[in-house]
Amino acid sequence: MIVKKLLLCLLFCVPPVLVTAQEIPPTPFERSKDYQLPSATQVAQYLKQLANSSPKASLKQLGISAGNRPIYALLVSDNPAFLNNGDGKAEKPTVMLVGSQHGNEPSGAEGLQILAKELIAGNHPSLLKQLNLVIVALANPDGRDLKSRYNAAKTNPNVDYIAASADETRMYIDALNQYQPHVVYDVHESGVFKRILTKQQGYMTDVQAQFEVGNNPNIYQPLRQYAEQTFLPQLISQVNQAGLAAARYRGEITRLQQSVARGGIGISNFRNYAAMRGALSVLVENRLDSKQGQYSTPRNIKQRVEKQHLSTLQFLKLVAKDKAQILQLTEQARRLHQKPDYTVPKVYLDIAFTNNPERKLIKVPLTEVQTGKQVFKTFKNTDTISAQRPIKPPKAYVVVNETQTVAELLRAHHIHYQMIDKPTTVRVDRWRIRSVSIDEIHKPGIRDWLDVKLDQHATNLRLQKGNLIIPTNQLMGRFVTLLFDPRSSTSIYQEPQYRGLLIKFPYLFIAPTKAQQIAIAQNK
């Protein structure tokens, strides 16, 4: 009888968390004896294995890369409805984690796989009680296999969020639209070796973990202020306390004679684009060690992955802690336009970094290549964000030419537009391009190249069937103005494939209008 009771105890008294943990296999990277990076195919197979190993995970294919490789999102949650179709609960933020948009920055993808494994195994139970996760562990499988920053079409998806020309970029936009994440975490690495700074001037950058948030002045102001003034300082402090030296992101230093700013402020990058859609958006740049160093693993990859894992885990803990405020602010940002009395606030067309009047110079730690010692060098400090040329957006924009091109772009961004049903006359401000020139000085922080001067005059315009109207009273209404106003430093005309539209017609193909009611056929 005693033996029988003992056997029953052994069979039924084993803690279920331990059993689950034993069933979750290590990642391909963890299984590698010499810490070689797994291929994109191996990563995809492992994600499928994770999804099949637990009722807390499901795998969704976002699409196919330019190099014909699948890109997956692993959904991790204790909510079956979220795992099935992305439907979350009101009290649980959805967090999207995106790793290795640059294929030659691989540690993020490995850190996210390890974290996904741990969550499924039950290692961080409090996080799954409070968060729904969308984990895009390997966002650029082409880059992984090609050891490149770019995809197979030689496009950098991370800065393609205006033109949305890359297959990968459109997948990520679709994912933002489908899962409506309250929080986005973009995982990168920052190389310490720079061509001029290191080879010619003898210094390497000295960073461990750097963080930046959505910082474009056109982001919903309460959300941007919370991100910059509350969440970011807390995150940096928390990562420091966990044992990893963390700081606010400092713009890339490539030579001693330059000025120093912050992370880019243009909406072409993923961080600011996601924030424009109403998400708390955070960038991490962890240290990418030099190829010339001596490490216990290839290019210190084991330690780099551990740092990414630590950074991400601390980030998720802070999101869980501050979830009530995050939910409130992000829901306000994405629902504000639905109020009957809502009017689109002013939009700043011209943005750039400028001199910091309170702290004109800044000392930055660098590593001396010959000695390996940390030294401090002084740089001009241009981390103040200048927001100029504010305008009141129109009620809508009408499109009278290039309607197919514009409609395709709008669909890529999930921007609502309408099609004119029958000829009608509307009052507009017509734009005529006076001059287009290449900027002599590139504005720091954004990817603008053209300086556009225009004339405009109010007139009645006869719209034809098939013309388009784009209302600005929608989630991406401010983005619409930044996209199509030729005076915007982040407009579509800054992109090479759209520059010709500036001079193709006597008047620009698009015009702002104050009209609220125009004959339409259907919403798109």
Q: Do both 256 and 275 map to the same domain?
A: yes
**Domain shared by 378 and 399, yes or no:** no
What pLDDT score was predicted for residue 84? Answer: 93
Residue 437 lies in a domain: yes
Q: Which amino acid is at 255?
A: R
- Whether residues 380 and 432 share a domain: the answer is no
Question: Both tokens of residue 260?
Answer: 């120093």
Of all residues in the chain, the percent with pLDDT exceeding 90 is 83
**pLDDT at residue 339, as a whole number:** 79
Q: Which residues pair with 183 in a beta bridge?
A: 95, 280
Within a domain: 232: yes
Three-state SS string over 199-265 comes to HHCCEEECCCEEEEECCCCCCCHHHHHHHHHHHHHHHHHHHHHCCCCEEECCCCCCCCCCEECCCCC
Number of C-beta neighbours around residue 246 at 10 A: 24
Question: Do 37 and 63 lie in a common domain?
Answer: yes
- Domain membership of residue 452 (yes or no) is yes
CA atoms within 13 A on the CB side of 135: 34
Lookup: tokens for 43: 């990563």
Residue 270 pLDDT: 97
The CATH number that applies at residue 68 is 3.40.630.10
Residue 343 lies in a domain: no
**pLDDT for res 274:** 98
**11 lies in the same domain as 120:** yes
Q: Are residues 13 and 160 in the same domain?
A: yes
Which residues fall within 8 angstroms of residue 163, CB to CB, at 6 or more apart?
Answer: 409, 492, 495, 497, 498
368 and 289 in a common domain: no
**Number of domains forming the structure of the chain:** 3
- Distance CA(9)–CA(425), nearest Å, equals 82
Distance, in Å, from the CA atom of 436 to the CA atom of 459, rounded to the nearest integer, reads 24
pLDDT in tens, the chain (524 residues): 443 343 334 333 434 433 344 479 999 999 998 999 999 999 999 999 999 999 999 999 999 999 999 999 999 999 999 999 898 888 999 999 999 999 999 999 999 999 999 999 999 999 999 999 999 999 999 999 999 999 999 999 889 999 999 999 999 999 999 999 999 999 999 999 999 999 999 999 988 999 999 999 999 999 999 999 999 999 999 999 999 999 999 989 999 999 999 999 999 999 999 999 999 999 999 999 988 888 999 999 999 999 999 999 999 999 999 999 999 999 999 998 887 777 777 999 999 999 999 999 999 999 999 999 999 999 999 999 999 999 999 999 999 999 999 999 999 999 999 999 999 999 999 999 999 887 755 555 566 678 899 999 999 999 999 999 999 999 999 999 999 999 998 999 999 899 999 999 999 999 999 876 675 544 44
| Within-domain flag for 221 | yes
pLDDT of residue 442: 55
pTM of the model: 0.92
- Give the list of residues 6+ apart from residue 183 with CB closer than 8 angstroms, or none: 93, 94, 95, 96, 279, 280, 281, 282, 319, 326, 330
Contact predicate 432/454, CB 8 Å: yes
Question: Does residue 428 lie in a domain region?
Answer: yes
CA distance 190 to 351: 25
Same-domain pairing of 213 and 125:
yes
| pLDDT of amino acid 30 | 96
In a shared domain, residues 368 and 321:
no
- Domain holding 372, by residue range, is 348-387
Alpha carbon 105 to its chain centroid, in Å, reads 15
The answer to whether residues 205 and 312 belong to one domain is: yes
One domain for residues 299 and 424: no
* pLDDT given for residue 168 in this prediction: 95
User: 170 with 198, same domain?
Assistant: yes
Which pLDDT belongs to residue 387?
94
